[in-house]
């Protein structure tokens, strides 16, 4: 079922994005949540920059947004490492307006993109 929903999403995004151009931003704002302590915070990251939070290293590889929508419609490529895991906890694209479509599956932390930084 999960593969089917991803396939449907890919077709929908491809058809709705026709004619739109993406603007690469200089960075983005990422929000994190520690589900154990309840602590949250925001990280402003430049493209290619990483920051540590608890066990996680969060790297913003790219942040883009549709030119006619604005930076709050961001989609970002993130690489998230957990020092207790050999493989990345997440490596892929997240969409600010629909974070559940491509969420990080982690027992302790949630991480999602809020918006791109344009200035």
Q: How far apart are CA 86 and CA 57, in angstroms?
A: 13
Structure tokens belonging to residue 62:
């790219």
pLDDT band at 114 (very low <50, low <70, confident <90, very high): very high
How does pLDDT run across 39-86, given as a tens digit for each residue? 999 999 999 999 999 999 999 999 999 988 777 789 999 999 999 999
Q: What share of the chain is helix, strand, coil (3-state, %, to 5)?
A: 20, 45, 35
pLDDT of residue 90: 96
pLDDT of residue 24: 92
pLDDT band at 15 (very low <50, low <70, confident <90, very high): very low
Q: How far apart are CA 79 and CA 88, in angstroms?
A: 7
More confident residue, 2 or 89: 89
pLDDT of residue 12: 45
Residue 9 pLDDT > 50, yes or no?
no
How does pLDDT run across 81-98, given as a tens digit for each residue? 999 999 999 999 999 998
pLDDT of residue 20: 72
DSSP H or E stretch at residue 12: helix 2-16
Other CB atoms within a 10 A radius of the CB of residue 60 amount to 26
């Amino acid at each position: 079922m999960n593969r089917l929903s991803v396939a449907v999403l890919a077709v929908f995004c491809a058809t709705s994005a026709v004619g739109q151009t993406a603007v690469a931003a200089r960075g983005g704002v990422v929000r994190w949540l520690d589900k154990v302590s309840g602590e949250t915070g925001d990280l402003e990251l430049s493209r290619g920059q990483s920051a540590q939070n608890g066990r996680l290293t969060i790297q913003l590889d790219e942040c883009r947004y549709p030119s006619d929508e604005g930076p709050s419609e961001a989609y970002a490529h993130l690489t998230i490492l957990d020092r207790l895991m050999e493989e990345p906890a997440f490596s892929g694209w997240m969409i600010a307006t629909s974070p559940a479509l491509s969420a990080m599956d982690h027992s302790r932390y949630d991480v999602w993109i809020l918006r791109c930084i344009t200035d």
